[in-house]
Chains A and B, each alone.
Chain A
Amino acid sequence: MPDEYGAGPDIAMKPVISIRDVVKTYASGFQALKHINLEIDKGEIFALLGPNGAGKTTLINIICGIVTSSSGTVTADGHDTVRDYRAARSKIGLVPQELSTDAFETVWATVSFSRGLFGRAPNPAFIERLLRELSLWDKRNDKIMTLSGGMKRRVMIAKALSHEPEILFLDEPTAGVDVELRRDMWSLVRGLRDTGVTIILTTHYIEEAEEMADRIGVINKGTLVLVEEKARLMKKLGKKQLTLQLQEPLSGIPAELHSWGLELKADGHDLVYTVDSSNSIDISSLLKRMSELSIVVKDLHMHQSTLEDIFVKLVSEPA
C-alpha cells in the first residue's frame, strides 16, 4: 500500500491507531504521560524517539493492554483498546523492550503458542515461512535458553508476527544488536511495511529513525514535543554550517562581515557560517568579501545537521 501511494503528505490516510488525551500516572504518583494525542497512519513506519524514561514504553504498553491508562482513549483499527480489546489486540503484535522468553520451550513451540494465544488456528506452513524468513528454521527444535541474545530477539519478533498482525510495535528492536542483525531487522521491517503492516518503533538510535521512518515523534518527559514527517523535519530543523578554516587566526569578526552573523571558533582559526531555513545561502558573496579583506581561507567544509542534532536540541529544551 505505501508503495502505491508513496509517502506523499497530502494523501489522506486512515489512522490505524488513534490516541486521545492519554494520561498515565503510576501508582507511585509519577506522571509518565501527560495528555498524549497522536494518530498513526495505516501502512507507515512511525519512529518514537526519546531519551530514557521519556514514556515510550509506557505509551506502547497502554496501547497493547499491558498497562492501564489513567485517562484517555486509544483505538486500534477503529476498536477501543479497552472496551473492545479482543478485536483491537488481535490486530496488534508487540516485541517488547525486555527479552523475556520461556527458556525451556523450543522455538517452534513458543511461536506456535503465540499464534494460538492470539486466537488463530494452527498454521504450520505459515510458522515455517516465518521462521525461515527470520533465519530461525535451523533452530526450531532448540530450547530458547540455548540461543544467543540476537537469536532470542528474532524469536520475540517471530512470536509477535505469528498471528499475522496488521500493526506491529517494536520497542527498541535493535538495542544490543550487532550491525549485521540491525541491517537485517531494518530490511525485515521494510518488507513488512511493503505488505501493508503498520510499524511503530522506538529507538535511541537516531540513525535508525532517519533510515527507517516515514514520520517521527519525539517524546520527552511524558510529552510529545514534536510529530513530523521525517523529510519535512529534516528540512525544517536541519541547518547547514559552513566552517572556514583560516590561514591566520582572527582576534575578532571584522565589522564588514557582521551582517552574515558569523561565529569565531577554535581560537579564531575557524569562521562558522550558519545557514538555516530563515536565511538563504549566500556563500559566494561572503567569500568575495573575505578576499577583499585579505582573509585567506585554508580549507572549508560543510556540515548538515542530522536528526541527532535536532533531537538533542529538542530534548534539551525544557519540556
Chain B
Amino acid sequence: MSRPLSLPAFNRHGVWAIYKFEIARSLRTLVQSLITPVITTSLYFVVFGAAIGSRLSTPGGVSYGAFIVPGLIMLALFTESLSNASFGIYFPKFTGTIYELLSAPVSYVEIVIAYVGAASTKSVVLGLTILITAALFVPIKILHPAWMIAFLLMTAFTFSLFGFIIGILAKGFEQLQFIPMLIITPLTFLGGAFYSIDMLPPAWRTFSLFNPIVYLISGFRWSFYGTADVSVGVSMSMTVGFLLVCLGVVAWVFKTGFRLKN
C-alpha cells in the first residue's frame, strides 16, 4: 500500500480516539490493573527482600531489597506492555469491531502510534506505581534520572510494540499468553532481575550475555545505583536495537499484507 498523499497528513482525531478508548478500557479495571502489581511487588519484598535478601551480598553496597527494585519494575513493564498491547489489538479482532478500524481513514502508522502509545502509557504508569510502592519498603536512590526515564519509556514502547505484533499475528487467546509466559518471564528471571550476573558461575555468566533481557535490566539498574553487569552504552544500544527490530517487524507485517484483512 502506498503512502497516503491526500487530505490531512495525520489523522490526529483518529489517533486520539483510539488512544482514549484504550486508556478508558484500562480505567474500567483500574483497581485490578494497579492493585495487583502493588500486592505482587510487596510480596516480592517480603519474600526476597526480607527473608532471603538478608543473607545475600549485593554489589555496590546496595541492600538486596533496593537492588531488586529495577528488576521488578522491568518485569512488570515487560509483561504488562505485552499483554496490554496484544490484547488491545486482538480483542477487536475477536469481537468483530475491527471492521471499524479497517474502514476508517487511519494509516497503519497511526494505528500503531495509538495502540502502542496507549499500552506504553499504561506500562509507564504501572512502573512508576511499583517504584513508589517500593520506596515505602526500601530506600531508593536514582543517580541518573534522565537515563532512568529513557530506559523506562523505551522499554515500555518496545515491549508494547512487541505485544502489538503478537496481537496482530495471534490466532487465539492462548497465543496471546504464550510468548509472555514461555519466553519473557523465564528470560527475565534468568536475566538478573533478582541477582547480579556476577554472582553466577563463569559459564552461566557467559551464557547470560546471550539473553537480551540482561542488558535492559542492567542498564535500568545502573540508572538507579550506578552499578551494572554490562556497560550502560551496551545496554542502551541493545535497547535501541530491540526497538528497531520491533519497528522493522511491524513494518514488515503491514507491508506483506495487513494480517487483519482477508
List the interface of chain A (C-beta within 8 A of B). 26-27, 64-68, 79, 82-90, 92, 94, 96, 98, 100-105, 109, 112-122, 159
Question: Can you report 21 residue pairs joining A to B where beta carbons are below 8 Å apart?
Answer: A26-B262, A27-B262, A64-B103, A65-B103, A86-B4, A86-B107, A92-B103, A94-B99, A94-B103, A109-B24, A112-B17, A113-B17, A116-B13, A116-B16, A117-B18, A117-B101, A118-B14, A118-B104, A119-B13, A122-B13, A159-B100
Contact B261 A116 (CB under 8 A): no
The interface residues of chain A lying within 8 Å CB-to-CB of B107 are: 86
- Docked pose: A159 CA to B17 CA in angstroms: 13
* Cα–Cα, bound, A96→B103 (Å): 11
Q: Report the minimal beta-carbon distance from B110 to chain A, rounded to whole angstroms.
A: 10
**Which residue on A lies nearest to B262, using beta carbons?**
A67
The reply to whether B14 and A119 form a contact with Cβ atoms under 8 Å apart is yes
Given A79-B6, A113-B17, A116-B17: A66 and B103 interface contact (C-beta under 8 Å): yes
A100 engages B262 (CB within 8 Å): no
Residues of B within 8 A of A90 (CB): 7, 105
Q: Looking across the interface, which residue of chain A has its beta carbon closest to that of B258?
A: A68
**How long is the Cα–Cα vector from A112 to B16 in the complex, in angstroms?**
11
Distance (whole angstroms) from the CB of B256 to the closest CB of chain A: 12
B104 pairs with A66, CB closer than 8 A: no
> A66-B261, A109-B21, A115-B17 are known contacts; what are 17 more A-B pairs with Cβ within 8 Å?
A27-B262, A66-B99, A68-B257, A79-B6, A83-B2, A84-B4, A85-B105, A87-B6, A92-B103, A101-B95, A105-B21, A105-B24, A109-B24, A116-B16, A117-B14, A118-B13, A119-B7
Nearest-neighbor residue (CB-CB) of B13 within chain A: A116
Given the known interface contacts A65-B102, A82-B1, the answer about A119 and B8 at a Cβ–Cβ threshold of 8 Å is yes
Quick check: A86 and B100 within 8 Å, CB to CB?
no
Q: Judge whether B5 and A84 touch: CB under 8 Å.
A: yes
Q: Which residues of B from 191 to 239 have beta carbons under 8 Å from A?
A: none
The answer on a CB contact under 8 Å between A117 and B2 is: no
Of chain A, the residue at the smallest CB distance from B8 is A119
Complex contacts, B14 vs chain A, CB 8 Å: 116-119
Verify B28–A114 contact, CB threshold 8 A: no
Contacts of B11 in A (CB 8 A): 86, 119
B96 CB-CB contact with A under 8 Å: yes
Type the 1/0 row for B99-122, where 1 means its CB is closer than 8 Å to any CB of A.
Answer: 111111111000000000000000
Most chain A CB neighbours (cut-off 10 Å) among B1, B100, B257: B100
Residues of A within 8 A of B18 (CB): 117
Minimum CB distance partner of A83 in chain B:
B2
Residues of B with C-beta under 8 A to A84 = 4-6
Q: Which residue of A lies closest to B91 (CB)?
A: A102
A96-B99, A102-B97 as given contacts; A119 in contact with B105, CB under 8 Å = yes
A5 to B126, CA, bound (A): 61
Q: Do the beta carbons of A118 and B262 come within 8 Å of each other?
A: no
Q: How many angstroms from the CA of A80 to the CA of B17 in the assembled complex?
A: 25
Q: Tell me which residues across on chain B come within 8 A of A26, comparing CB atoms.
A: 262
- Asked if residues A100 and B96 are in contact (CB atoms below 8 Å), the reply is yes
| CA A90 to CA B2, docked complex, whole Å | 18
Known pairs A84-B4, A87-B7, A121-B13; A113 contacts B103 (CB<8 A): no
B95 touches A100 (CB 8 A): yes
Distance in angstroms from A106 CB to nearest chain B CB is 10
**Which of chain A's residues has its CB closest to B107's CB?**
A86
Contact of B97 among A27, A101, A115 (CB under 8 A): A101
Question: A105 vs B22: C-alpha distance in the bound complex, in angstroms?
Answer: 11
- From A121, which residue of chain B is reached at the shortest CB distance? B13
